[in-house]
Amino acid sequence: MEPTLSDRSFRLVSRVHYKIRQPERGDIVVIRMAAGHKTMYLKRILGLPGERVRFKDGVFMVDNNPLPEPYVVRNGSWNTGEVTLGPSQYFVAGDNRAMNAREHVMGVTHRSRLEGLLLW
């Protein structure tokens, strides 16, 4: 999530937020893995259920419209195939778009994997 969040920093996460509210675009979320809670991903929600999304020349497209992303410092030149998100699916990515797309963990995750919202 660099440059928005730096490595090895302490953060505060609300684990009740998504029990009462729906995830929104732009939220920085904690994504859990099945085995436990020691390792989790921090990603930003870019695509919401039902949307057709992709990266085109570094710009994130939602239903063929570019998504304004003021938090991205350097766009890079990512290109991905189009994905249509299912009813409980979200497209997430980090803010470090300068890195190689193949080395960046991004893509579709399920609502049940969203453990909480990053507050600070």
Q: Do 38 and 31 touch, CB atoms closer than 8 A? A: no
Scanning 13-21, 60-68, 103-111 for contacts with another protein by CB under 8 A, the matching segment is 103-111
Min. distance of Cβ 109 from another protein in angstroms? 5
Among 6, 12, 16, 103, the residue binding another protein under the rule CB under 8 A is 103
Q: In 10 A of CB 41, how many CB atoms?
A: 17
- Please give the Cα distance from 38 to 20 (Å, whole number): 24
Q: Does 106 bind another protein (CB under 8 A)?
A: yes
Scanning 8-16, 18-26, 32-40, 64-72 for contacts with another protein by CB under 8 A, the matching segment is 32-40
- Please give the Cα distance from 47 to 80 (Å, whole number): 14
Q: Does 2 bind another protein (CB under 8 A)?
A: no
Q: Which residues contact 95 (CB under 8 A, 6 or more apart)?
A: 1, 2, 3, 4, 5, 44, 71, 72, 73
Among 5, 54, 58, 75, the residue binding another protein under the rule CB under 8 A is 54
Q: Does 17 bind another protein (CB under 8 A)?
A: no
- Please give the Cα distance from 43 to 71 (Å, whole number): 13
Scanning 8-16, 20-28, 66-74, 78-86 for contacts with another protein by CB under 8 A, the matching segment is 78-86
